């Protein structure tokens, strides 16, 4: 057993209001630079929808992620042979138009336009070429368009649904949708790391953050293909790939990453998980319907004395073990089993987990008659607005049982709290729902508390990074007094 | 005197600049070492230019290297006229492929607005050197047959004399072929420009990818040492955020 610590995350989709504050916080800090304008390390998509870049989930197009190859896994569109063969032209690389052409407006024209009969306008200009552009698409062009033919109906996950199910999904005023915020998953089996020919991408041992060494990246651009979530981006100006850094300078000083910190809906949770690095390959190569369980098996119980002993032996700091015990991610993912990884069938073992959106129905329209005479306040999870099979395609590699179990637990918590606070559902009904979901009232209260009332320090449990130790390991701090820190020693400009 | 400048002074100056410049740039300006791929801005036309260009140059580079290192083996192979023809035609085909590729790349760079934006002055230099190099090479191959055989007599001794620091330029200077002389001079010019252009990227061709393990984990700490450190104190996070 090789116990390591990983900073893991949970996004509670029932709480996401789709305000894009996270995206803007990230953009302002990290990607407001030439060549990076089109990058959204954090983006929020409307589901069903095609996402950003368009149809990123469709690996028939982009060839991202891993595929099962006997007892192990191999990269789908990259790897040693394919990577070096395609090094002069990568056939699966998304181009700028698959994302969108970034633009700004000529605001100065508003001041300098000569007097005339028309109002002066600020025309959009491309941030790549500087020429006028007719804006055709953007990073969140499908925002709120739950029923649109261009976006929602093109959703890759709909392929697994029958025509009738698809119709039912779009029936209700064509308004069934939820938001899916996405950042880098900092995977346990990262495809970007494995695909990088120059070895510039690596996973940090201490906290599992996946980073690209800008000094070693040579623009072979295989990581862009290999990441099935399309969360590595090519900077066309500097000729280097870039990705979400999980705001590691903030994490190292005990602050939550910017997108987490700024989240208005407080949907985001962050904390360490202990895991067994020896099991990664086996879990990544599990049969499709067991992928979620296999991944869950990797994460280890931070309260188990034997695990604690081995973790200490492996050099994990006491502060990290203690943080793993308080970790909200541990609770959501392992203790309560409410959160699932996004597209586990990509086999990268992502460390960002989602509590799926519940979206229950209270009534149905039958032949034009509004019928709310269900047995209970909400109908069963099977009649939720989103078909279970759609959610299973997103969060459990098609395993509907997993999704139904999560939904039942979420619904039980809701029913239970309703009976406590409002009282229009009976105690017996709540107790029955809890029993069916396999949780007790105390657990339901704890879930409710962490979901709705959690404070900053409960949502973000950040272990001390012990930067002081790591720097002293590498160099004498006296030698670099006044010169350590974060940033470039040479200007990030193109070429010589 | 001109011959001396072109065939003795230039090669040594070029090799010196190449060696010092490449090492300096790799070590001190690592961020600038990149292939500067523009596929992200334009992918379809790049395919038709980049693939024939790179594979053409790839084969020709190793062809020249083999002829330089093992001239006797090449001569032995050429003993049969059929084999000589096969070798020459193959080499010429790859030369044409590189030529067509570079033309398509130049055309793409001139006509695509997005690619113009990412074209630097040094990229123009790169294209001029490449055009001169490839065109002169094709002319040599066409007019002065059969290069794979006389290479051993004229070029190998000259190059070897350069590398053993006993420059003998007579063989190359006496050749009555302007295109061959241009080819040699432009080759050394190309070498001199490597540290200043995107030519750098072929020096960092990721050969080590073939033997490294797929996943890479880097530890900042020495894990065991931190664990046993006596002076180690637990970090505490401020509570005011």
Distant-in-sequence, close-in-space partners of A346: CB < 8 Å, separation ≥ 6: A59, A64, A65, A66, A191, A228, A229
Mutate to test the interface with A, among B46, B47, B109, B214 (most CBs of A within 10 A): B214
Residue B73 near chain A (CB below 8 Å): no
**CB-based contacts of A98, cutoff 8 Å, min separation 6:** A53, A54
> What pLDDT score does B231 carry?
41
Q: How many DSSP H helices and E strands does chain A contain?
A: 21, 17
**Mean pLDDT of the region A191-220:** 93
For chain A, helix, strand, coil in percent to 5 are 40, 15, 50
- Could you tell me if residue A349 is inside a domain? yes
Q: How far does A365 lie from chain B, in Å, by closest CA?
A: 48
Provide the mean pLDDT of chain A: 89
Q: What is the reported pLDDT for B28? A: 83
Residue B214 belongs to some domain of the structure:
no
Give the whole-angstrom CA distance, residue B177 versus residue B191.
22
- Phi-psi category of residue A35: left, alpha or beta, with phi > 0 → left and psi -120 to 50 → alpha: left
Question: Taking 90 as the threshold, does the pLDDT of residue A450 lie above it?
Answer: yes
Antiparallel, parallel or unpaired: β A124-126 and A103-105: antiparallel
The answer to whether B165 faces chain A, any CB pair under 8 Å, is no
Residue B238 lies in a domain: no
Domain range for B134 is: 2-21+38-206
Name which residue leads in pLDDT, A221 or A496. Answer: A221
pLDDT, one tens digit per residue, over A457-483 is 999 999 987 666 555 545 555 555 554
pLDDT over 50 (residue A373): yes
Q: Note whether A93 contacts B198, CB cutoff 8 Å.
A: no
- Cβ–Cβ contact A369 with B under 8 A: no
Burial class (CB in 10 A: 0-12, 13-18, 19+), B228: exposed
Domain count, chain A: 1
Asked whether residue B76 is assigned to any structural domain, the reply reads yes
| CATH at residue A147 | 3.30.70.20
The CATH number of the domain holding residue B11 is 1.20.950.20
Beta-strand relationship, A210-212 and A340-341: unpaired
Which B-chain residues 181-220 have CB contacts (< 8 A) with chain A? 196-198, 201, 204, 206, 208-210, 212, 214-220
Confidence label for A201 from pLDDT (cuts 50, 70 and 90): very high
What mean pLDDT is predicted for residues A407-431? 91
Query: Measured between alpha carbons, how far is A100 from A37 in angstroms, rounded to an integer?
Result: 10
pLDDT digits 0-9 by tens, A211-229: 999 889 999 999 999 999 9
Chain B residues inside the 8 Å CB shell of A473: 220-222, 225
Give just the sign of the alpha carbon dihedral A330, A336, A341, A344. positive
A320 and chain B in contact, CB less than 8 A: no
Contact A254 B238 (CB under 8 A): yes
Domain assignment of residue B196, yes or no: yes
Helix, strand and coil in chain B, % to nearest 5: 75, 0, 25
Q: Contact at 8 Å (CB) between B189 and B12?
A: no
Tens of pLDDT, residue by residue over A247-293, are 988 898 889 999 999 999 999 999 999 999 999 999 999 999 999 99
Q: Is residue A245 part of a domain?
A: yes
Give A478-490 as a DSSP string: TTTTTT-SSS-SS
pLDDT of residue A147: 63
Rounded average pLDDT over A309-329: 92
In a domain, A493, yes or no: no
User: Within a domain: residue A471?
Assistant: yes
Q: Given CB atoms, is A314 within the 8 Å cutoff of chain B? A: yes
Judge whether A90 lies within some domain. Answer: no
Domain of residue A248: give its range: 1-59+141-477
Lowest mean pLDDT among A193-197, A388-392, A421-425, A430-434: A421-425
- Domain assignment present for A121: no
**Mean pLDDT, to the nearest integer, of A145-159?**
76
Contact list, B232 vs chain A (CB under 8 Å): 469
Count how many domains chain B has. Answer: 1
The nearest alpha carbon in chain A to B37 belongs to A219
pLDDT on residue A15 = 95
Q: Give me the pLDDT at residue B236, please.
A: 44
pLDDT tens-digit map of A63-88: 999 999 989 999 999 999 999 999 99
Q: What confidence score (pLDDT) does residue B175 get?
A: 79
Query: A92 pLDDT exceeds 50?
Result: yes
| Amino acid A378: pLDDT | 77
Q: What is the pLDDT of residue A143?
A: 87
Question: Looking at B116-180, which runs of residues are DSSP E strands?
Answer: none
- For position A368, what pLDDT does the model report? 65
Contacts of A492 in chain B (CB under 8 A): 31
Alpha carbons B230 and B221: distance in angstroms, whole number: 16
With b for 16 or more beta-carbon neighbours within 10 A and e for fewer, the A328-346 pattern comes to: bbbbbbbebbbbbbbbbbb
Residue B228 lies in a domain: no
Give the 3-state secondary structure of residue A243.
strand
pLDDT tens over chain B, length 241 residues? 788 888 889 999 999 999 999 999 998 888 899 999 999 999 999 999 999 999 999 999 999 999 889 888 888 888 888 998 999 999 999 999 999 999 999 999 999 999 999 999 999 999 999 999 999 999 999 988 888 888 887 888 889 899 999 888 887 888 788 899 999 999 999 999 999 999 999 999 999 999 999 999 988 766 655 554 444 444 444 343 3
């Amino acid at each position: 057993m090789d116990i390591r610590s990983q900073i893991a995350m949970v996004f509670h989709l029932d709480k996401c209001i789709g305000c894009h504050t996270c995206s803007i916080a990230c953009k302002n800090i990290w990607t407001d630079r030439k060549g990076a304008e089109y990058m959204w390390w954090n983006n929020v998509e409307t589901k069903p929808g095609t996402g950003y870049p368009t149809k990123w989930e469709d690996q028939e197009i982009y060839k991202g992620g891993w595929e099962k190859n006997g007892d192990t896994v191999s990269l789908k569109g990259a790897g040693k042979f394919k990577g070096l063969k395609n090094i002069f032209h990568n056939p699966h690389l998304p181009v700028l138009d698959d994302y969108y052409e970034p633009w700004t407006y000529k605001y100065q024209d508003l001041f300098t336009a000569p007097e005339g009969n028309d109002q002066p306008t600020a025309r959009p200009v491309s941030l790549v070429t500087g020429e006028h552009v007719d804006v055709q698409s953007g990073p969140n062009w499908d925002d709120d368009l739950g029923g649109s033919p261009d976006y929602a109906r093109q959703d890759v996950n709909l392929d697994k649904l029958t025509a009738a199910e698809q119709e039912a999904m779009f029936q209700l005023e064509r308004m069934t949708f939820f938001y899916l915020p996405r950042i880098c998953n900092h995977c346990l089996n990262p495809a970007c790391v494995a695909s990088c020919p120059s070895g510039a991408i690596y996973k940090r041992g201490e906290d599992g953050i996946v980073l690209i060494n800008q000094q070693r990246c040579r623009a072979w651009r295989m990581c862009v293909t290999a990441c099935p979530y399309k969360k590595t981006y090519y900077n066309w100006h500097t000729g280097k790939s870039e990705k979400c850094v999980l705001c590691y300078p903030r994490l190292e000083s005990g602050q939550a990453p910017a997108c987490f910190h700024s989240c208005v809906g407080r949907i985001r949770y962050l904390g360490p998980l202990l895991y067994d690095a020896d099991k990664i390959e086996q879990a990544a190569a599990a049969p499709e319907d067991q992928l979620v369980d296999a991944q869950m098996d990797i994460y280890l119980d931070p309260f188990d004395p034997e695990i604690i002993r081995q973790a200490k032996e492996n050099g994990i700091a006491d502060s990290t073990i203690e943080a793993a015990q308080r970790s909200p991610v541990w609770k959501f993912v392992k203790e309560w089993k409410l959160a699932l990884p996004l597209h586990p069938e990509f086999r990268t073992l992502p460390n960002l987990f989602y509590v799926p959106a519940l979206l229950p129905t209270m009534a149905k329209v039958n032949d034009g008659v509004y019928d709310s005479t269900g047995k209970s306040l909400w109908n069963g999870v099977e009649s939720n607005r989103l078909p279970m099979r759609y959610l299973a395609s997103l969060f459990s590699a098609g395993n509907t049982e997993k999704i139904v179990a999560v939904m039942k637990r979420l619904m039980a918590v809701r029913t239970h709290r309703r009976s406590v606070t409002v009282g229009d559902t009976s105690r017996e009904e709540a107790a029955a729902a809890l029993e069916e979901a396999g949780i007790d009232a105390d657990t339901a209260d704890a879930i409710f508390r962490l979901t709705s009332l959690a404070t900053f320090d409960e949502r973000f449990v950040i272990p001390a990074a012990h930067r002081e130790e790591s720097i002293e390991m590498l160099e004498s701090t006296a030698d670099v007094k006044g010169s350590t820190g974060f940033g470039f020693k040479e200007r990030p400009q193109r070429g010589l | 005197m001109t011959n001396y400048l072109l065939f003795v002074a230039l090669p040594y100056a070029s090799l010196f600049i190449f060696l010092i410049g490449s090492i300096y740039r790799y070590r001190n300006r690592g961020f600038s070492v990149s292939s500067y791929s523009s596929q992200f801005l334009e992918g379809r036309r790049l395919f038709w230019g980049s693939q024939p260009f790179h594979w053409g140059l790839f084969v020709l580079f190793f062809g020249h290297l083999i002829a330089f290192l093992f001239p006797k083996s090449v001569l032995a192979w050429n003993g049969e006229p059929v084999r000589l023809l096969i070798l020459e035609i193959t080499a010429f085909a790859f030369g044409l492929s590189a030529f067509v590729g570079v033309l398509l790349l130049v055309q793409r760079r001139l006509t695509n607005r997005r690619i113009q934006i990412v074209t630097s002055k040094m990229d123009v230099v790169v294209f001029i050197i490449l055009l001169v190099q490839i065109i002169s090479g094709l002319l040599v191959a066409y007019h002065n047959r059969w290069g794979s055989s006389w290479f051993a007599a004229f070029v190998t001794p000259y190059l070897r004399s350069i590398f053993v620091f006993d420059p003998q330029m007579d063989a190359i200077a006496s050749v009555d072929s302007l295109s061959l002389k241009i080819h040699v001079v432009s080759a050394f010019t190309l070498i001199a420009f490597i540290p200043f252009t995107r030519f750098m990227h072929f020096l960092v061709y990721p050969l080590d990818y073939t033997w490294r393990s797929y996943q890479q984990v880097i530890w900042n700490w020495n894990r065991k040492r931190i664990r046993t450190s006596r002076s180690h104190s637990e970090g505490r996070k401020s509570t005011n955020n």
